[in-house]
Structure 1
Amino acid sequence: MAHKKQRFVSPLVAEYPPGHWSNTLRVGDAIYVSGMTARANDLQSIQGETAYEQAKVIFTKIKHCIEAAGGTLADMVKMTIYVTNMADNKEIWRARQEFFEGDFPCSTLVQVAGLAKPEILLEIDGIAHAGSGA
């Protein structure tokens, strides 16, 4: 049985106008969250100067997106983390421990040459399956 793709918008997470991308899509129980950065709701300024601070902002945004689509952060099964400095992994891990418990999502960490702005230190995307974390 095919499931229809549905777009969800969280009032707590700024989103670019239609035609760019969707922050959150749900197909059946699968919830897909686009790469999130620590960009503020003005879509210009960056929240947090360190990887730890930016990671906390990002995990909060991911939480809001998943909740808008009917899931919880406990439902997150996969994330990909893009960093500009691999040494920031310890600080990202510290932030991640404040948002997840039990079986953490599967995770991939990739170092990249740069992200959308020089002050953006990391970007995280993810997949959740609604109801799987209960």
Structure 2
Amino acid sequence: MAKVIVNTDQAPAAIGTYNQAVKVGTTVYLSGQIPLVPQNMEIISQDFTEQAHQVFKNLVAVCEAAGGELQDMVKVNIFLTDLSNFAIVNDVMSQYFKTPYPARAAVQVSALPKAVQIEIDGIMEIPSTN
């Protein structure tokens, strides 16, 4: 099965040897998004809530570019530099997803690219390959 590379200027450009997402059939593998503003590739702010919102906005853009929507995500992996922000993540995530929620993992890591506080990747299943 062929791989389709997904890229959009509505999400931050890849800053390494990866693509924003790769679609194989109806499954889309989304690379990790950090709180970069796509227009200037700068971190939105040092405020954790603003960083979380920007990450979800970036994920929305990549999901749409792949032909789906955020609600089509079936698995989400959340990486935090401080697990005490977990309640904030839940609050922000509830503003972007409705039930049924995707499967999810949330882990604390020692550091993330560009010293951000949150990164999220995941898997999306869309109804067609269009």
TM-score by length of 1: 0.88
Cα deviation code 1:55-104 (max 9, x no counterpart): 11111111110111111111100010000000001111111000000111
Alignment RMSD, CA only?
1.6
2:12 touches 2:58 (CA, 8 Å); kept in 1? Answer: no
Structure 1 runs of 4+ with >4 Å offset: none
Instruction: Report the TM-score when normalising by structure 2.
Output: 0.90
1:72 and 2:73 are equivalent in the alignment? no
Whole-Å separation in 1 of the counterparts to 2:43 and 2:12? 13
Aligned length: 127
Q: Does 1:61 align with 2:55?
A: no
Structure 2 equivalent of residue 14 of structure 1 = 12
Q: Contact 1:26 / 1:69 at 8 angstroms: preserved in 2?
A: yes
Identity %: 29
Q: Which runs of 5+ in 1 are unaligned?
A: none
> Tell me, what secondary structure is at the counterpart of 2:62?
helix
Q: Which residue of 1 aligns with 2:79?
A: 82
* Residue of structure 2 equivalent to 1:115: 112
Structure 2, unpaired ranges of 5+? none
